[in-house]
Amino acid sequence: MKQVFYVIFFLSLGLTGYSQVNIIPKPAAVSMPAVKGELTIDASTHLVAATPALQPAADFLNAYLMEYYGFFLRGIKPKGSATTVRLAISTATNGPKEGYSLEAAKGSVTIKGQDAAGVFYGVQSLIQLLPVQKAARLAVPFVTISDYPRFAYRGMHLDVARHFFPVSFIREYIDYLALHKMNYFHWHLTDDQGWRIEIKKYPKLTQIGGFRNGTIIGHFPGTGNDNQHYGGFYTQEQVKEIVRYAAGRSITVVPEIEMPGHASAAIAAYPELSCFPNEPTTYPRRTTVAGDTTGKQVQQTWGVFNDVFAPTETTFTFLENVLDEVMALFPSKLIHIGGDECPKENWKRSAFCQQLIKDKGLKDEHGLQSYFIQRIEKYINGKGRSIIGWDEILEGGLAPNALVMSWRGEQGGIDAAKQSHYVVMTPGSHVYLDHSQTRRDDSLTIGGYTTVQKTYSYEPIPKEINQAEEKFILGAQGNVWTEYMAYPSKVEYQIFPRMTALSEVLWSSRALRNWTDFEPRLKIQLDRYDRWGVSYSKAVLQPEPEPPVKRSSN
């Protein structure tokens, strides 16, 4: 099958004589001159970045060329240089934000961005105009591209709490986003199974909360426990380095500090944050637990746990101090405060919580969750930032300025947009990249079945949203929960190629989105994955038969 594909590919090359333009995400407009031609990029090509702000884009191009082709371009014109790659900010005003134009013609490639991000995206398109295979001289077809994104928020998330990934992989992950013109990295830093960010004021968060005594084996509730002491965390220096690295790729890092639920790791470090500091941590039935089981412990299994933050002054002071350090590290306007899956059992049992509900005139425990989030929002707003939270923050009343991440389907997003709140869509049905890509799991996954075709078919603007409300849908994000991804290549396998499909959903206009047009471009992208040396699912090359239709007996 692949051979047939190559024959067709080379035939079409033979017919036109020149390589084709196969960019993902599909650019807004591409035109090739009537008289076709190509220029060559090689080690003698001169690279000009018009202003220092464009140096990161130039550096990215050079790092890519060096890694995959073995040469780089010089900023000082090499002797005998016949071609130039020129990066500049466009003088045209009022162009679309993050937009760019690329013109490849005789002797030069000129990329003009509306801003530095636009130039960076022009460089990504140029990278995709290069032949995938290694060569010393790279042919680039004559072409004019004019391009800009459909959505302002084009995100990918990564859970580093369930499994921890080294800084080197976080950098690679950010590069994958950059290569797909994505601009938000949502870094899920805390959860029941680990606290992963150094907080100077509370060292036990990482000393104790950063490690667990074991991890379940297999699917929840597990067939046993691996009995391995497991964990890790990022130092503040490492976090700063990642934030800088991402900024050089036009990517904003949004940190997530989970509250009031998913807080077991923080509570293991500081039991006074719990409603019941003296009650030992409880575990789901049938889960085998390793090591010490007295007192508060970091969880070793997946799911939702009743031991959540108590809405006390102690907790609020703690969270404010944590957030102060977090906001100093992350310049992002958006700070993610979680808000999801907070069981109300402990709040129901707690005399303090019940009294607080009365004193504050709240309706019930959902009102208390809303009170919790609104208090944190006020604090974060006071520092000039905004909160974003999972759609449970709608329950009991949305905090006045909050943004909502809609994960339990689209309804949370629809409700929030109708209340004039900004929304990022992340519905489980299409963009939970922890789901299986084959009908039967071909490796251990959380379950579900989400093909690359399904992700590609996702439309971020729900049909219930009217035109006036559309502006509240900022975009969408792929979520990568790592209960069943214990190492980097597994993360790669889960995101590729679905994240490539999502990038087109987020960048390209609705009218240009078309699977028949996308599929051959995706196949070229699979060759690029091979060059990158990443793991990816080949399910798209092996379409699965539909399951037999159940007939009613007649």
The Cα 347–Cα 394 span in angstroms is 18
Q: Which is nearer to ligand TNX, 410 or 483 (CB)?
A: 483
Of 25, 284, 273, 306, the C-alpha closest to 148 is 25
Q: What is the DSSP letter of 280?
A: P
Helix 167-179 to helix 488-495 angle (10° resolution) is 20
Q: Which is nearer to ligand TNX, 256 or 469 (CB)?
A: 256
Q: Which is nearer to ligand TNX, 147 or 434 (CB)?
A: 434
Q: How many CA atoms are closer than 13 Å to the CA of 339, on its beta-carbon side? A: 36
CB of 394 to ligand TNX, least distance (A): 13
Is 341 catalytic? The answer is: yes
H/E run at residue 526: helix 515-532
The Cα 331–Cα 385 span in angstroms is 9
Q: Which is nearer to ligand TNX, 336 or 528 (CB)?
A: 336
The Cα 88–Cα 275 span in angstroms is 57
Q: Which residue is nearest to ligand TNX (CB)?
A: 481
Q: What is the DSSP letter of 192?
A: T
Tally of CB atoms within 10 A around 369 = 25
Query: Where are the extended beta strands (E) located within 339-419?
Result: 386-390, 403-406
CB of 253 to ligand TNX, least distance (A): 18
Binding site for ligand TNX (CB under 6 A): 340-341, 390, 407, 432, 434, 446, 481, 483
How, if at all, do strands 100-105 and 473-478 pair?
unpaired
CB of 192 to ligand TNX, least distance (A): 8
CB of 159 to ligand TNX, least distance (A): 6
The Cα 520–Cα 5 span in angstroms is 9
The Cα 448–Cα 236 span in angstroms is 36
CB of 405 to ligand TNX, least distance (A): 7
CB of 161 to ligand TNX, least distance (A): 9
Q: Which is nearer to ligand TNX, 112 or 430 (CB)?
A: 430
Q: Which is nearer to ligand TNX, 206 or 264 (CB)?
A: 264
The Cα 494–Cα 166 span in angstroms is 18
Per annotation, catalytic residue among 103, 172, 341, 395: 341
CB of 284 to ligand TNX, least distance (A): 15
Q: Please, which residues bridge with residue 228 across strands?
A: none
- Residue count of the chain, please give it: 554
Q: Which is nearer to ligand TNX, 98 or 434 (CB)?
A: 434
CB contact burial 292-314 (16+ within 10 A = b; e otherwise): eeeebbbbbbbeebbbbbbbbee
The Cα 65–Cα 9 span in angstroms is 24
The Cα 499–Cα 537 span in angstroms is 11
- Catalytic residue numbers, as ranges: 341
